[in-house]
Structure 1
Amino acid sequence: MEDFNEIVSKLKDLYSRTPKHFDGSILGSMTTWPHPIGVYAYQLFIHVNGNDPVVFPIVQELEKDLLATIGSLYGSRHGLFTSGGTESNILALFVARRVSRSKSNVVVAPSTVHASIDKACQLMGLRLIKIPVNPLSSVDPDVLEKHVREHNPFAVVVTAGTTESGVVDKVKEVSEVASKHDVYLHVDAAFGGLLIPFLYKHGIVDTDLFFYPGVSSISVDLHKNGRAPIPSSLLFFKDEAYVDKACFEMNYLPSGVNCGLLGTRPGASLVASWAVVKAIGLEGYEKQALAQQEIALHLFNELHSREYIEVFKPVLPIVVWRSRLYNYIDMIKKLFNEGISLYKSPSLQAARAVIMPHVTREHVDALLKALDKIHERSGFN
């Protein structure tokens, strides 16, 4: 057994070598530095099992309040707290299977859906039919309807803020297709859930996120733009009865029921999410979304002015670009050596910067300076 002080010393050393969001080095991830009130709440309630509402009744009380507050943006207060977009997406398709009257095992989705949809289908033995879609475009509702007619799926999945480019599928138009054909429609809004309602309100995006008649569920991450500690997410349903379909009998628990995919659920995340939402408020999230979009446009304009870059105009605050000199993987590696971490957009053979709440204009300018440096070093004129 190691000495306590030695472990603390080792932890401090590890922390010193771990990148932090606030230093501007993390520009590709959809995670962010959590709000201080969330960190405080997490520490206070770190012992709480979020799947035991009898011993810890606050989890049910705060989950209900959290769903009502965030759900007011989309027109539903029915759902549950989950560990993230992946659990929400898997659970949504599990519920879809349970409530569907169709004997089909087919799911139809654009090729731009998150990899967790592939994971869900593999886990449940479902057949995933992907509609080829330009990564910079939303799925065409008419083409989607053609696939629905042809493949008779029990569920359709679209995305409100795709991972690689931030594109928003046309939720209202797709919901009409789902309603017409009596198909379960899940909207993955893990990234866009706390951006789209506000950007739509200000006329920045042309698609809103709402429980239109054909929408069955919507997933929204709170550990992304919600600024809650990891792991924190919400899965909303159109109907309260759907929540029961996401629960399992668990006789040894005081409640006799276990909801969601996790057995023991971090109650600290739920309480912290509630505290952060109370501290920021919907007006605060609106201001934050507008600020993120402004910084994203600043980055886009600066990249557009550089002849060595090909950049794509952002829909949500995700900026994607290619170098005219480097392969995108080589460019990302070179920037990593300059202290900047970006993620890939493989379908576009490009790099991706996500303007999260922690990203400042100074961080973006440091990225631009590093880009100029690696291109000047190679003699690009």
Structure 2
Amino acid sequence: MSLPPLASSPEGPTGTLRTLLDTVLDALHTGTHARGGPLPAGGPATVTARVRDALGDVLPDEGDPLALPALVHALAEGAADPAHPLCAAHLHGPPLAVATAADLAASALNPSLDSWDQAPAASALEALVTQALAREAGMADALVTTGGTESNQLALLLAREQHGPGIRLVHGTNAHHSLPRAAWLLGLPDPVAVPTPTGTLDPAALDEALTHIPGPLLVAATAGTTDAGLIDPLPAIAAVAAAHHARLHIDAAYGGGLLFSDRHRPRLTGLDAAHTLTLDLHKLGWQPAAAGLLALRDPTDLAPLHHRADYLNPDDDTHAGLPDLLGRSLRTTRRPDILKIAVTLKTLGRTGLATLVEQVCALAHDFADLIQHHPAFELYDRPTLSTVLFRPAHAPDDTVAALRRHLLTDGRAVLGRAHLDGRLWLKTTLLNPHTRPHDLAALLKLVEGHTPA
């Protein structure tokens, strides 16, 4: 039996890879066509049966040369496709073609960012791009992460190492679930959740809470809540945190993309007051997952991540000038996720990224207008980012929940859900810049048609 071909060789990409790429693209096309909508119809049992049929024996005695097209077709046919305008539930957007192409190059070359001798150019690229993005946010340095959850976990870890294991996390009830979970994971005291009845963290309520909690304290604010895309009043929260000598972390995994737009950037005033800052470019950055960042005001906060492994960063190599990469992550093997980010920033520029950000924010306002003028629906509020919450007027919560599941099972639309103001709302997170108002009008007609009279 001949050895299977590799993706690349000392001469560059192999001819086999080029052929296989055509196979993958064809299978993506046929699978998407077979699906025919934003997600597969039939629900979990139907999808699982179809995947099981395509997969067959997971590890057969003899290999199947048709496994690649069969499984890629099955994945595409069974996908919730963020490129479809009616797939709009989550902070999971369609990736840019140029970023996806760059990700292919990263996979073919397969650098690992745990030592310089495994990733010479990738490590240099990561240093240059992360520093530039940190400066964009008013910070001094940034680490690449797998997304908002890892960034939030690292932020709490660095706070613990800087201020001791007794540091107490104080956050709004609007905060991302990964923050209190990180406190649990790191063995910190039970977090204090400040009620956010308006959807954002009230500085006066925060001040009152901090007054009665012994330090050290870590305040977490949010720029782009998961439920409604709201932004906490960052300058006022920063002032309250400073008055109580509290460390400040801002989770801008969603809203951080506004930095690219001169029109919307002022909404992030106060971002640079944070000690640590979560960003996530597989949201308002249109990157294939994963593309997270943790930015820091003070690079010396990274000292606790320093780690020595003689086979990766021996002292004599470091003293001779080889970069030490182990202190840039808690992970060892790391993909060069920075490549797709760098290619996107360079290809689109500030103007191109701003156009995408402003497009989806404007689209959210268009959708809110449609809802406000439709007597069958109720709008939660005007959008802050690209999230719009609505519900059938006068419908009970169980009807709203059942309606969403019915659309999912039928493969007609992917809508999220959010509990706010004591009621259940349907959630659209509009991250597809190619969605048009007529798509949103069709979505409302679809929801109306599935709402019981």
Q: Same fold (TM over 0.5)?
A: yes
Please give the secondary structure, in 2, of the residue aligned with 1:166. Answer: coil
Aligned residue number for residue 300 of structure 1 = 368
Matched, 1:109 2:167: no
Q: Aligned pair 1:138/2:197, yes or no?
A: no
Check whether the contact 2:360–2:433 (CA below 8 A) recurs between aligned residues. no
* TM superposition shift of 1:179: 2.0
1:22 maps onto 2:83 in alignment? yes
Letter in 2 for 1:339: R
Q: Structure 2: how far apart are the matches of 1:366 and 1:245?
A: 53
CA distance in 1, matches of 2:63, 2:148: 39
Q: 2 CA distance for matches of 1:148 and 1:318?
A: 31
What are the superposed Cα offsets for residues 336-371 of structure 1, whole Å, 9 maximum, x if unpaired? 225211122134521110110345124323312211
Q: Is the Cα–Cα contact under 8 Å of residues 96 and 154 in structure 1 kept in the other structure? A: no
| Residues in 2 aligned to 1:114 and 1:36: alpha-carbon distance in whole angstroms | 29
Counterpart CA distance in 2 for 1:293 and 1:69 is: 25
Instruction: Give deviations 1:35-65, integer Å, cap 9, x for gaps.
Output: 1221122111211213333421223322222
Between the aligned residues of both structures, percent identity stands at: 22
Higher relative contact order at CA 8 Å, sep ≥6: structure 1 or structure 2? Answer: 1
Contact 2:199 2:230 in 1 (8 A): yes
Instruction: Give the equivalent residue in structure 2 for 1:3.
Output: 63
Of 264, 278, 282, which aligns to 1:219? 278
Aligned match of 2:119 in 56, 79, 99?
56
Which of 108, 126, 130 is the matching residue for 1:67? 130
Q: Provide the C-alpha distance between the structure 1 equivalents of 2:79 and 2:411, rounded to a whole number of angstroms.
A: 15
> Counterparts of 2:378 and 2:218 in 1: how far apart (Å)?
37
Change (3 A) 1:258 1:64: closer
* Cα distance in 2 for residues equivalent to 1:203 and 1:9: 43
Pairing 1:280–2:356 present: no
State the AA in 1 paired with 2:186: M
Give the gaps of 5 or more residues in structure 1.
Answer: none
Contact 1:108/1:153 (<8 A) preserved = no
Q: How does 1:68-83 map to 2 (within 5 A)?
A: 68-83=131-146
1:354 counterpart = 2:426: no
Give yes or no for contact 1:32–1:358 (8 Å, CA) kept in 2. no
Q: What's the CA shift string for 1:282-301, capped at 9, x where partnerless?
A: 22222212111111011111
Q: Which amino acid aligns with 1:319?
A: V
Gap change, CA 1:54 and 1:172, over 3 Å in 2: farther
Q: Tell me the alpha carbon deviations over residues 161-198 of structure 1, each in whole angstroms, 9 at most, x when there is no partner.
A: 00001110111111122222221110000000012663
Shift of 1:75: 1.3
- Structure 1 residue aligned with 2:401: 329
Amino acid at match of 1:112: N
| Structure 2 counterpart of 1:252 | 311
Count matched residues: 370
Structure-2 residue corresponding to 1:366: 442
Q: Cα RMSD (Å) of the superposition?
A: 2.2
Residue 34 of structure 1 deviates from its aligned partner by 1.5
Seen in structure 2, the aligned counterparts of structure 1 residues 38 and 188 have a Cα distance that, compared at 3 Å, is: same
Single out whichever of 80-89 and 319-328 deviates more from structure 2: 319-328
Q: List per-residue Cα deviations over 1:187-241 (Å, max 9, x = no partner).
A: 000000012663xx436975525313xx201111011111111111111000111
- 1:315 is paired with a residue whose SS is coil
Paired residues of 2:258 and 2:268 also in contact (CA < 8 A): no
Cα distance change, pair 88–247 in 1 and its aligned pair in 2 (3 A): farther
Cα distance between partner residues in 2 of 1:241 and 1:161: 28
Mapped to 1, the partners of 2:368 and 2:73 lie a distance apart of: 37
Residue of 195, 198, 209 corresponding to 1:147: 209
2:231 corresponds in structure 1 to 168
**d(CA) in 2 for partners of 1:342, 1:266:** 32
Indicate yes or no: 2:413 matched with 1:340. yes
The separation in 2 between residues aligned to 1:4 and 1:226, in whole angstroms, is 38
Letter in 1 for 2:191: L
Stretches of structure 2 that go unaligned for 5 or more consecutive residues are 1-59, 314-323
